[in-house]
Amino acid sequence: MVIVAAMVAATVALPALAADLEAGRRKSEPCARCHGDGGNATVPGTPSLAGQPAWFTHWALVKFRDGRRKDPMMSPVAANLSDADMADLAAYYATLPPRPRPQTLDAAKAAAGQRLAVSHHCTSCHRPDLGGQHQVPRLAGQDLDYLLRLLRAYRAGTAGDLEGLMTLAAQPLSDADIENLAHYIAGLTPAP
C-alpha cells in the first residue's frame, strides 16, 4: 500500500482537498447506522466505506446527489450533502482501517475468481491488491451481495459509471464469472 501511494504521488500531484477530518467524523455519525462503526458495515448488501480512496467516495456521493447513481436508501442521504460535507466525509473514511467482513464464501468459486481477476485485468485499474486508487474503489474484502449487485449493474450499464471504463470491463463477464469474481474479492483481506 505504501509503495503504491508513493508511486501514485510521483506520477500525479493531487490538489489537496480542503477537508476537515474532525468534521468528517462528526458528519459520519448518521451514516454508521447502515455503514457500520468505523465505516465497516455488517449489513449484507451495504458496502463498507473504510479505507476507500477519498476521490472514489467523493465521486460516489456526487453521483448519488446528481442522480447518475440511484438507491432508495442512499439517494435521499446524498441529496442533503454539500460539496464540503462530501470532501470531509470522503477524507475521513479514507483514514479508517478496513476490516474483513464475516461472510459465507465458496472456495472453488473464489479460486476461479482469482484467475479471472488477472485475465480480465481487474488488477490493472483496482491495483494488484485490489486496494483501489484515486477514483477507482477498493474491492478487497467488500460485501459479497454488494459486489454481485454492482457487477451486474455495471454489466447492464445501469451503475452510473463516471467514465464508462468499468462498464466496458464488465461487458464480457458471464453470470458464473461474476459469482466467481465476487467470491474471490470478498474473501481478500483488505490491506490496512
114 contacts other proteins (rule: CB under 8 A): yes
Candidates 26-34, 39-47, 145-153, 155-163; binding stretch for other proteins (CB under 8 A): 155-163
13 contacts other proteins (rule: CB under 8 A): yes
Helix axis angle for 144-156 and 175-187, nearest 10°, is 140
Is residue 113 within 8 Å of 182, Cβ to Cβ?
A: yes
Write the DSSP string, 128-149.
Answer: TTS--BTTBPP-TT--HHHHHH
Neighbours of 4 (CB within 10 A): 15
Rama region for 47: left / alpha / beta (φ>0; ψ in -120 to 50; rest): beta
What Rg value do the Cα atoms of the chain yield, rounded?
16
Number of amino acids touching other proteins (CB under 8 A): 52
| Cell numbers placing 6 | 508513493
Of 43-82, which residues contact other proteins (CB under 8 A)? Answer: 55, 58-59, 62-63, 66-68
Contacted entry of other proteins, ligand HEC, none for residue 105, CB cut-off 5 to 8 Å set by kind: other proteins
User: Residues in the site for other proteins, rule: CB under 8 A?
Assistant: 7, 10-15, 17-18, 55, 58-59, 62-63, 66-68, 83, 86-87, 90, 100, 104-108, 110-111, 114-116, 119-121, 124-125, 133-135, 157, 161-165, 167-169, 172, 187, 189
Residues contributing to the site for ligand HEC (CB under 6 A): 30-31, 33-35, 46-47, 49, 57, 59-61, 71, 73-74, 77, 89, 117, 120-122, 124-126, 135-137, 139, 142, 147, 149-151, 159, 161-162, 165-166, 169, 181
